[in-house]
Amino acid sequence: MRELVEGATRLLAEAGVGSPRVDAIELAAFALGLDRLELVLAPPAPEGFALEYAGLVERRRLREPLQHITGRTGFRYLTMAVEAGVFVPRPETEVVAQVAVDEAARLVAAGERPLVVDLCTGAGGIAVSVATEVPAARVWAVDASPAAVALTRRNGAGADLDVREGDVRDETLLAELDGTVDVLVSNPPYIPPDAVPVDPEVRDHDPDLALYGGGADGLDIPRAVIRAAARLLKPGGLLVMEHAEVQDAQARDAAAVAGAFTAIESRPDLTGRPRMLVARRIGPLSVTDSQP
């Protein structure tokens, strides 16, 4: 077993896979039907394993995402179902989820039952994390992709989670919640049209709908998220939105232009890069809040 994994590691490294040994072990565990594999205690390779494993490694060598091959990925405390056609949750988004979880937990501790909305939910990583880690919260999740909506419902089975199909650019989206939301969190598409991802796993497999944010700067969808937050959040409600590290100033400017937020700031990811916008909703709804 160890020899097979070492051979797979070399093949994946030569193909440019970023974490060849981790992926080789994960594929071996998947072929064995295990959640994880400890090579120190590795079992003998069962009959037929080498052939099946070689097929899995070849798919990964050709840069098919590991998560698509195994049909699963880890996100915070979750093991989530993943499938082709839906954006694969990324580790950096776990930090964005943490801010939403912390705010929801703070409100619960204060005796409230917070309402949390996750826009552009994808596979549902943020929404399901909040719903499972803060079970007293009410969580709504929205995505424009029917496949993403179906997958989020699957990942959120058993949680207090309302999943809807909808376009964040629709100014009537979730109109029944206007002015009542405590936390609005989002990892929207934000890649500019001329910044095609280098990694084949992203470029060739994640759906364009979940990658490209629209407009020359990629911020059309993020700006729509900010406008939706201005409409949906109650006074004092929190907006948390992921963006690219080069978009921090533009994201803050967009929140300022909305005229509905205070305490506007950029926060870092685990590597110290500015990767999320955080802001508080101020005052009641007003005419100026509807400005683009």
* Beta-ladder partners of 241: 186, 277
Q: Which of 100-104, 139-143, 148-152, 286-290 has the lowest mean pLDDT?
A: 286-290
How high is the pLDDT of residue 210? 76
| pLDDT above 60: residue 57 | yes
Overall average pLDDT of the 275-287 stretch: 80
* Beta-ladder partners of 119: 142, 186
Burial of residue 75 (number of CB atoms within 10 Å: 0-12, 13-18, 19+):
buried
Overall average pLDDT of the 269-287 stretch: 83
With bands split at pLDDT 50, 70 and 90, how would you rate the model's confidence at 237?
A: very high
pTM: 0.88
Give every CB contact of residue 151 below 8 A, 6+ residues apart in sequence: 81, 82, 83, 86, 123, 124
Overall average pLDDT of the 139-151 stretch: 97
Overall average pLDDT of the 181-199 stretch: 87
> For residue 68, what are its two tokens?
């698509």
* CA 236 centroid distance within chain: 24
How high is the pLDDT of residue 44? 87
For the stretch 198-234, pLDDT in tens is 777 788 777 777 777 888 888 999 999 999 999 999 9
With bands split at pLDDT 50, 70 and 90, how would you rate the model's confidence at 195?
A: confident
Give every CB contact of residue 268 below 8 A, 6+ residues apart in sequence: 274, 275
How high is the pLDDT of residue 289? 42
Overall average pLDDT of the 273-277 stretch: 95
| pLDDT above 70: residue 288 | no
| pLDDT above 70: residue 150 | yes
With bands split at pLDDT 50, 70 and 90, how would you rate the model's confidence at 197?
A: confident
Mean pLDDT of the chain, nearest integer: 92
Percent of the chain with pLDDT over 90: 77
| pLDDT above 70: residue 15 | yes
How high is the pLDDT of residue 284? 58
Helical spans, DSSP H, in the chain: 2-14, 20-32, 49-61, 66-70, 93-109, 125-133, 146-155, 200-203, 208-211, 220-232, 248-258
For the stretch 116-125, pLDDT in tens is 999 999 999 9
